[in-house]
C-alpha cells in the first residue's frame, strides 16, 4: 500500500462522511465536500474533453505532422500560426505538428467547428455573446436531425412491433415467457395507457372507465420505478459502506474510524458553540 | 387500543434522522455478518448469459462503459462479470467509453480482470479505446466509420498498429455489444443508433432506476437481456460461478428492503389512523 493510496483513502472517507453529515443538518463538512465535488468534476470533465477530443481530433486534424518540409506560402503561414500557438502552449502544440493518425495534410473543413466552438465560448463576453447562438443553433439542429430518425425507428416502429403480440400457439399462462394472459395484459395496458393521454374527449362514461384502467397501469409503472429507485439508492449506500469498511482497516490506518470520530467531535463543538445558523432564504 | 393508536400516530411523525440510523444499521450489519440468502437468476439475466455463451473463441465483443464512481456499486460488478465471462470464452474485448469517468472504471476493470485474473495481452485480447465526447454522435460515428472516431486508443497507440483492430471498421464488424450504462448517453442511445440500424446482438447492464425505461426495448427484442442494478450483477456472478461484490451486497439489499417495506406499511397505518381521527373530531 503506497502513500498516495492511503492518502486517497483518507480523502475518500472524509468526502463520503462529509456528504453523509448533511443527514444531520447543513454544516461546514458538507459544504467542503459539495464544493470540492463540483470543482473537481468541472475540472476533470474539461480536461478529459480537451485531451480526448479537442487536442487530438480537432487540432490534430488542423495541424497534422506534414510529410517532408513545408512548402508554399499558405502552408508556411498556416504552420506559422501553429508555431505561434506552440510557443505559448508547447504541451498542446508540440514541435512539428500533432501526430494522432489523421494523415499528413490539414483537414481545413475542421476550421468550421473550431470557429463555432470559439463562438460558443464567447457567450461569457457580453458584447460578443450573440455569436454563441450560432454554435448552439448548429448543435441543436444537428442533434434534432440525428435524433428524429433514431426515435422514429427505435421508439415508434420498434415499440409498435413489440406491442403487436400474438395470441396463437401460446400457453394460457406463464410467469417467465410469452403467454396469452401476458399478451392480453400488454394489449390492455398499452391501449388504455395511451387513451389516458387522449384529451380531445372528456374522460367520462365508458371512455372514462377505460382511461381509469390506464391510470392503474401507469400507477403500477410508477410504483415499480419507485421500487427500483429505492433499490438503486440502497445499492449505492452499500457501495459507500463497503468502501468505508475497507478504509477502516489496518492497511489504511483506520481512516474511517478516525475521520468519523473527528467529525463527530467537531460537529458537536460546532453545534454547542451555536455557530450553525443557516440563513433563511426569502 | 387507544394508547397503541396514539403510539402509532406519534411514531408516524418520528424525526427522519432516526430512520436514517435504522437504515444505516440494517445495511451495515449484513456486510459484517453475511446471511447467505439464495440468489436466483431471472430470465433477463439468463438471456445475457446465453447470448455470451453462444459466442466462440476469437469472436469480437464491444463493451461500452457509461458510468462513473457515483454508480459504481451497481454497474461495476456486472461489467466485471461480463468481462470475466467473455475472457473465459476467449472472446476479444473492445472497450469504448461515452462517459469521461467511464474510462477510469474501464481501467479498473481491466486491471482486475484482464491483467490480474486472466493475464491477457493488451492489443491482442483486449483494447481500451477510451472516451470520446459527443454522446450519440459518437455511436453514430462508430456505426459508419470506426476509425474516424478513434485513430488512437486510450494509451496513444495508433489503431493501425493494434493487431486486434484488423478488420474492425464499423460496429457491424462486432459479434456482440454490451452497454454498461448509468444514464445518458447509454443503453437507449446504443439501441437507437447501433443495435437497431445494424442488427448487432446487444445486451445491457443498467442501474436499477433505469430498468423501467429500458425494459420496453428488452420486451420488444431490441435488446437481448438486461442486468438490473446490483441484483442483476449478483445473478450474473451466480451464473458464471464467480461471486463478487454484487453477491456480497445482496444480503444488505434484501434486509434493507424488508425494513423499508415495513416503514412504508407503518407510515400508511399512521396516516390512515390520523386521518380517521381528524375526521372524527
For residue range A118-174, list pLDDT tens digits in order: 999 999 999 999 999 999 999 899 889 988 989 999 999 998 888 888 888 888 988
A17-38 pLDDT, tens digit per residue, is: 999 999 988 999 999 999 999 9
All cell numbers assigned to A24: 444531520
Block means of pLDDT (10 residues each) for chain B, length 281 residues? 80 84 93 90 95 96 95 94 97 95 94 95 96 90 92 92 94 97 94 95 96 92 94 95 90 93 90 85 69
In 3D space, the residue among B163, B168, B224, B166 whose CA is nearest the CA of residue B191 turns out to be B224
Q: How far is A277 from chain B (nearest CA, A)?
A: 19
Query: A24, B228: Cβ pair inside 8 Å?
Result: no
A230–B101 C-beta distance less than 8 A:
no
Q: Which residue of A has its CA nearest to B46?
A: A176
Closest chain A residue to B256, measured at CA: A234
- Contact yes or no for B29/B255 (Cβ under 8 A): yes
Q: Residue B29's pLDDT is what?
A: 93
ipTM: 0.89
Are B220 and A161 in contact (CB < 8 Å)? yes
Q: Give the Cα separation of A183 and A18 in Å (integer).
A: 50
Q: Where are the domains of chain A?
A: 112-164
* Block residue for cell numbers 388504455: A192
- Our CA-based measurement puts residue B154 at a distance from the nearest CA of chain A, in whole angstroms, of 8
Interface probe, candidates B209, B246, B258, chain A, greatest A C-beta count within 10 A: B209
DSSP state of A53: I
C-beta atoms of B73 and A242 within 8 A: yes
d(CA A110, CA A91): 21
Cα separation, B53 vs B123, whole angstroms: 23
Interface test with A, best of B151, B221, B244 (most A CBs within 10 A): B151
- φ/ψ of B39, rounded to 5, equals -120, 125
The Cα B62–Cα B113 span in angstroms is 16
Among the partner-chain residues B74, B219, B228, the one whose CB lies closest to the CB of A162 is B219
Measure the CA–CA gap between A249 and A258, rounded to whole angstroms.
11
User: Residue B181 in contact with residue B206, Cβ under 8 Å?
Assistant: yes
Q: Does A277 score more than 80 pLDDT? A: no
CB contact under 8 A, A53 and B31: no
Sheet holding B226-228, edge to edge: B126-131, B92-97, B60-66, B176-181, B202-206, B226-228
Residue A250 clears pLDDT 70, i.e. is over it: yes
Q: Report yes or no: B144 and A63 within 8 Å, Cβ to Cβ.
A: no
Give the mean model confidence (pLDDT) for residues A253-279. 87
Give the model's confidence band at A282: pLDDT under 50 very low, under 70 low, under 90 confident, else very high.
Answer: very low
Amino acid at each position: 500500500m503506497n502513500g498516495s493510496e492511503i492518502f486517497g483513502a483518507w480523502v475518500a472517507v472524509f468526502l463520503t462522511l462529509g456528504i453523509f453529515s448533511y443527514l444531520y443538518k447543513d454544516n461546514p463538512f458538507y459544504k467542503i465536500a459539495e464544493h470540492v465535488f463540483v470543482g473537481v468534476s468541472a475540472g476533470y470533465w474539461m480536461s478529459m474533453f480537451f485531451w480526448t477530443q479537442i487536442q487530438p481530433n480537432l487540432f490534430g486534424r488542423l495541424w497534422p505532422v506534414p510529410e517532408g518540409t513545408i512548402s508554399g506560402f499558405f502552408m508556411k503561414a498556416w504552420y506559422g500560426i501553429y508555431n505561434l500557438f506552440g510557443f505559448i502552449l508547447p504541451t498542446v502544440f508540440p514541435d512539428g505538428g500533432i501526430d494522432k493518425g489523421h494523415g499528413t495534410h490539414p483537414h481545413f473543413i475542421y476550421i468550421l467547428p473550431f470557429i463555432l466552438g470559439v463562438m460558443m465560448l464567447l457567450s461569457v463576453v457580453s458584447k460578443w455573446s450573440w455569436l454563441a447562438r450560432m454554435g448552439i443553433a448548429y448543435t441543436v439542429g444537428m442533434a434534432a436531425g440525428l435524433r428524429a430518425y433514431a426515435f422514429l425507428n427505435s421508439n415508434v416502429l420498434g415499440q409498435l412491433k413489440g406491442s403487436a403480440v400474438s395470441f396463437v400457439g401460446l400457453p394460457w399462462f406463464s410467469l417467465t415467457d410469452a403467454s396469452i394472459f401476458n399478451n392480453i395484459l400488454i394489449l390492455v395496458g398499452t391501449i388504455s395507457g395511451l387513451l389516458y393521454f387522449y384529451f380531445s374527449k372528456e374522460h367520462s362514461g365508458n371512455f372514462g372507465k377505460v382511461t381509469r384502467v390506464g391510470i392503474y397501469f401507469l400507477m403500477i409503472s410508477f410504483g415499480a420505478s419507485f421500487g427500483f429507485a429505492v433499490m438503486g439508492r440502497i445499492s449505492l449506500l452499500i457501495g459507500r459502506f463497503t468502501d468505508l469498511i475497507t478504509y477502516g482497516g489496518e492497511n489504511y490506518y483506520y481512516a474511517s474510524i478516525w475521520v468519523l470520530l473527528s467529525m463527530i467531535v467537531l460537529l458537536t463543538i460546532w453545534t454547542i458553540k451555536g455557530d450553525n445558523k443557516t440563513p433563511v432564504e426569502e | 387500543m387507544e394508547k397503541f393508536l396514539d403510539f402509532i400516530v406519534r411514531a408516524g411523525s418520528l424525526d427522519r434522522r432516526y430512520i436514517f440510523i435504522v437504515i444505516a444499521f440494517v445495511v451495515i450489519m449484513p456486510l459484517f455478518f453475511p446471511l447467505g440468502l439464495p440468489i436466483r437468476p431471472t430470465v433477463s439475466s439468463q438471456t445475457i448469459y446465453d447470448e455470451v455463451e453462444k459466442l466462440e473463441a476469437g469472436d469480437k465483443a464491444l463493451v461500452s462503459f457509461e458510468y462513473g464512481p457515483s454508480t459504481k456499486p451497481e454497474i461495476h460488478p456486472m461489467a466485471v462479470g461480463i468481462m470475466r465471462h467473455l475472457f473465459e470464452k476467449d472472446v476479444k474485448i473492445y472497450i469504448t467509453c461515452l462517459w469521461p469517468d467511464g474510462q477510469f472504471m474501464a481501467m479498473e476493470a481491466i486491471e482486475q480482470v484482464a491483467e490480474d485474473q486472466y493475464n491477457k495481452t493488451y492489443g491482442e485480447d483486449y483494447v481500451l479505446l477510451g472516451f470520446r465526447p459527443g454522446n450519440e454522435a459518437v455511436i453514430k460515428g462508430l456505426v459508419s466509420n470506426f476509425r474516424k472516431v478513434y485513430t488512437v486508443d486510450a494509451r496513444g497507440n495508433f489503431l493501425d498498429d493494434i493487431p486486434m483492430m484488423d478488420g474492425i471498421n464499423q460496429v457491424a464488424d462486432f459479434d456482440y455489444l454490451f452497454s454498461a450504462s448509468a444514464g445518458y448517453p447509454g443503453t437507449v442511445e446504443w439501441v437507437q443508433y447501433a443495435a437497431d440500424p445494424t442488427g448487432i446482438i446487444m445486451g445491457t447492464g443498467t442501474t436499477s432506476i433505469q430498468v423501467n425505461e429500458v425494459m420496453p426495448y428488452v420486451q420488444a427484442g431490441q435488446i437481448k437481456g438486461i442486468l438490473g442494478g446490483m441484483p442483476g450483477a449478483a445473478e450474473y456472478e451466480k451464473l458464471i460461478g464467480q461471486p463478487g461484490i454484487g453477491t456480497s451486497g445482496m444480503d444488505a439489499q434484501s434486509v434493507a428492503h424488508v425494513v423499508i417495506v415495513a416503514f412504508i406499511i407503518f407510515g400508511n397505518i399512521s396516516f390512515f389512523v390520523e386521518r380517521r381521527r381528524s375526521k372524527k373530531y
